[in-house]
Chains A and B, each alone.
Chain A
Amino acid sequence: MTEPDNKYEGQFTAPYTPSAEEQLARRSRNRVLGFALATFVILVGVVTFIRLSSSDLSKSGFYYNFKDKAADEEMELPPGMDPDQAAPPPSLTPIEPEADEPRGEDL
Chain B
Amino acid sequence: MTDMSASHTKRYATAGDYVQLLKPRIMMLVVFTAVSGLIAAVGVTGQSINPIMAAIATLSIALGSGAAGAINMWYDSDIDQIMTRTSTRPIPSGAVPREEALAMGLIMSGVSVMLMWLASNWLAAGLLAFSIFYYGVIYTMWLKRSTPQNIVIGGGAGAFPPVIGWAAVTGNTPLDAWILFAIIFFWTPPHFWALSLLAHGEYEKAGVPMLPVTHGAKTTRNQILLYTLLLVPLAMTPLLTGLGGWLYGAVAGVLGLAFLSYAVRVWRSHAGDKGAAPADMKLAKGMFLFSILYLFLVFAALIVEHAFGLYFPVKVF
Contact = CB atoms under 8 A, between A and B. Distances in A.
B142 to A, nearest CB: 30
B119 interface: yes
A50 B56 CA distance: 12
Interface stretch (A22-30, A60-68, A92-100): A22-30
Contacts of B59: 43
Interface in A10-49: 21-22, 24-26, 28-29, 31-32, 40, 43-44, 46-48
Interface stretch (B7-15, B28-36, B78-86): B7-15
B6 interface: no
A106 B118 CA distance: 36
B52 A46 contact: yes
Contacts of A40: 111, 115
Contacts of B118: 44, 47-48, 51
B264 interface: no
A42 B14 CA distance: 25
A58 to B, nearest CB: 14
Which DSSP category, helix, strand, loop or mixed, fits chain A's interface? helix
A51 B57 CA distance: 14
B52 A50 contact: yes
A21 B52 contact: no
B50 interface: yes
Contacts of A28: 14-15
B133 interface: no
B13 A43 contact: no
A28 B13 CA distance: 9
Given A40-B111, A54-B50, A47 B56 contact: yes
A31 B12 CA distance: 15
Contact of A47 (B14, B15, B111, B119): B119
A44 B14 CA distance: 27
B18 interface: yes
Contact of B115 (A24, A26, A31, A43): A43
Contacts, number: 36
Contacts of B15: 28-29, 31-32
B135 to A, nearest CB: 22
Interface in B210-232: none
Contacts of A24: 12
Contact of A46 (B12, B18, B56): B56
A25 B111 contact: no
B251 interface: no
Contact of B12 (A25, A43, A47, A48): A25
B50 A50 contact: yes
Contact of B18 (A22, A26, A32, A44): A32
Contacts of A31: 15
A18 to B, nearest CB: 9
B53 interface: yes
Nearest to B114: A44
Interface in B35-85: 50, 52-53, 56, 59
B137 to A, nearest CB: 25
Nearest to B59: A43
A25 B50 contact: no
A46 B56 CA distance: 10
Contact of B56 (A21, A43, A54): A43
Contacts of A22: 12
- The CB with the most chain A CB atoms within 10 A, among B12, B18, B119, is that of B12
| Nearest 6 pairs of A and B residues by beta carbon | A25-B12, A32-B15, A47-B118, A22-B12, A28-B15, A28-B14
Given A25-B12, A50-B53, 9 more contacts: A21-B12, A22-B12, A26-B12, A40-B111, A43-B59, A46-B56, A47-B53, A47-B119, A51-B118
18 contacts: A22-B12, A24-B12, A25-B13, A25-B14, A26-B12, A28-B15, A29-B15, A31-B15, A32-B15, A32-B18, A43-B115, A44-B118, A46-B52, A46-B56, A47-B53, A47-B115, A47-B119, A50-B50
